[in-house]
Chain A
Amino acid sequence: MKLMTCPINGSRPVSEFVYWGEIRPMPDAATCSDDEWADYVFNRNGAPGVKKEWWCHTPSNTWFIAERDTEKDKVLRTYLHGEDE
């Protein structure tokens, strides 16, 4: 069983979590070019590496950030939004 650590609820089976995608900073729609906006809307970075992702512990609806190595599928650390040092 794969485990993931929720910052509030602790280590739980990964089946209790949902993945909500990589955190991608949104460009300022008022000032960015059409290409930059289209890139943000339509393109995703599928290259393996360490990425920051949104995850949610569904029984408690706890949203948090996981730093995950998508090449090795290893979660390096998890923390709540705003707690990144």
Chain B
Amino acid sequence: MNAPIRISPLFDVQAPLGPKWSHVDAMQTPASFGSADGAKLALAGIGDVSFRRRAGVKGPGAAAALAELGIATPERPNSFLRMACGTLVARMGRTEFMVEDAAGGTRTAQMHAQTPGAGVYPVPRFDAALVVTGERAIELFRQSCAFDFSSLVLPEQPLVMTSMVGVGVTVVAIDDPSGPYYRVWCDGTYGGYLWATLVEVASDLGGGAVGLEALGRLAQ
């Protein structure tokens, strides 16, 4: 039995494009939008990784609660780190964190199972999660956002909370041998609008929606 039990917040805007589907972490997710995915990925690709399981926690005791579970936390607000197991840990402020599992990871399940102590407030996360790739990604951001992403120092693993096409987003810029790429999270209810708008802008730049097969390890 391989029926999806989680629905991507982007499903309604992706389904009309007729992608080839796959099931990842019990969520139906586009595996491919067509043979041009690879070319789009290199210019301005928009991928959906909403299937990643994530959990948030905030409060003065949040960092200690994560440490109890063996989850490392970034030292500076507005930065992120990736643990050796692939888990992505984002620090969104002084005392707020978001943890996103790698494939098959169980960190967020442990967080959900943990009884919150004093000063620890769990934050349910139902984000739409995107990957933005390609050499023209910066141009895409220039058209959709007032923040200058070219000013980021990638080795510092920066995290930015800003507004993109009117939607509040959290963005991390990831340094990669193939070139920088970006992970974008927003409230799931705005996800369809954000995805469709970014895909439209990306199309003007020679890119567009890409599936998991083209994303490969960038979907991690």
Contact = CB atoms under 8 A, between A and B. Distances in A.
Interface of A: 1, 8-9, 12-13, 15-16, 57-60, 62
Nearest to B164: A59
B163 A59 contact: yes
Interface string B156-171: 0000111100001110
B192 interface: no
A57 B77 CA distance: 15
Identify which of B146, B161, B168 gathers the most chain A CB atoms within 10 Å of its CB.
Answer: B161
A59 B168 CA distance: 4
Contact of B162 (A1, A8, A12): A12
A17 to B, nearest CB: 10
Contact of A58 (B77, B94, B146, B168): B168
Interface of B: 77-78, 92-94, 146-147, 160-163, 168-170
B163 A8 contact: no
B146 A13 contact: yes
Contact of A59 (B77, B94, B161): B161
Contact of A8 (B78, B146, B147): B78
A12 B160 CA distance: 11
Given A59-B168, A62-B93, A1 B146 contact: yes
A16 B163 contact: yes
B162 A59 contact: yes
B77 A8 contact: yes
A4 to B, nearest CB: 12
Q: Which 4 A-B pairs have the closest CB atoms?
A: A59-B168, A60-B161, A13-B146, A59-B161
B93 A59 contact: no
A8 B77 CA distance: 8
Contact of B78 (A1, A9, A13): A9
A57 B169 CA distance: 12
A60 B78 CA distance: 10
A75 B36 CA distance: 49
B128 to A, nearest CB: 15
B146 A59 contact: no
